[in-house]
Structure 1
């Protein structure tokens, strides 16, 4: 295709294809949104329909601290991308480490919550409709967080080794889009499960 065919509108402006990574991640996020919508709607539909206890108000506590940690990790991963775009590899590693730490605290908090619910309150996925929908929705989100943490840990590993350079900033940005999605989904899950559902 000639350069003239690629030009759009202005004679000096050449149209370029959008990043394949960003387009691919956007498509993945759209598909994941559809899955989460199904789980959220199911949770909302079954609120208050359990025939036996325990009920959400009896066992759920607001995970404020872990929520703050997870949402803060969106800022740190953004800072990591910005640092890499400016060729500040050391700063990028520092922000990636902070992101992994904050995400790890969130997962540890979720694990502790589940341990408490199962062993102290006897709430399992088979206990009642609340247990089934709770573990399905929160577990789906936690799985996405774990996947994100694995990928971020790999990025941190390569960053610490000095193998991640400014030219890799777009790849890190693609990963950060996934992490922002995971954080955004948690806002919905938090509101539905811990605010509306109680």
Structure 2
């Protein structure tokens, strides 16, 4: 009985110590809040994926994915984005070690690879529109441009965010606020890579089979 009471006393003291310690560090709070944002973004993309799955065969007599999609172009886009995720990871490791040159180098490589991805995606959109395969042509194309275009918009926002973050790093150094923003950017960028792998699988690989 005394052992149980002693255990309870220790547990109560731990609770008191935790409450007296105050709130969690801001880095943890910001990271947790950003994870909630990412989850809400994933919910939005899930809805877009569901819409595409329903409308994938609704071509209304127009061109289908098998006629429009270029496997080579999609593979190059995937390679660029996955490599950018790797360079982003190296940038994060360099930032944790407070190495300026390696951090800027990782950011520059990430930006160039992300920009190359966007350039290929815009070229794909342009070639499809030139063939008359616009978003108004069919429900399938509306769903395609909405899903892939939304991801491309996120990549564009990420590149702008990366540039602004590097400007802040150059001006302020490795301040806690800059480190927190770099952590959030890394989470955002890796999440975009995961979403793109799903797009590549569902839209481009499965699309040629329809």
Q: Do both share a fold (TM > 0.5)?
A: yes
What secondary structure sits across from 1:124 in the alignment? coil
Matched, 1:54 2:96: no
User: Aligned partners of 1:155 and 1:164: how far apart in 2?
Assistant: 11
For 1:79, the equivalent position in structure 2 comes to 90
**Cα shift at 1:196:** 1.3
User: Aligned partners of 1:75 and 1:16: how far apart in 2?
Assistant: 33
Matched, 1:20 2:29: yes
Larger helix percent: 2
For 2:134, the equivalent position in structure 1 comes to 124
The match for 2:119 among 75, 87, 108 is 108
Q: How does 1:101-180 map to 2 (within 5 A)?
A: 101-119=112-130, 121-159=131-169, 161=170, 163-165=172-174, 167=176, 168-180=178-190
The match for 2:43 among 34, 39, 50 is 34
For 1:90, the equivalent position in structure 2 comes to 101
Q: Deviations over 1:74-117 (max 9, x none)?
A: 11111111101111011100000000111100111111000000
RMSD: 2.1
Taking structure 2 as the reference length, what is the TM-score of the superposition?
Answer: 0.84
Q: What is the aligned residue count?
A: 190
**Cα shift at 1:156:** 2.4
What secondary structure sits across from 2:59 in the alignment? coil
Structure 2 gap segments, 5+ residues each: 1-12
After the TM superposition, which parts of structure 1 deviate over 4 Å for at least 4 consecutive aligned residues? Answer: none
Taking structure 1 as the reference length, what is the TM-score of the superposition?
Answer: 0.88
Structure 1 gap segments, 5+ residues each: 9-13
**Cα shift at 1:16:** 6.4
Give 1 or 2 for the bigger CA radius of gyration. 2
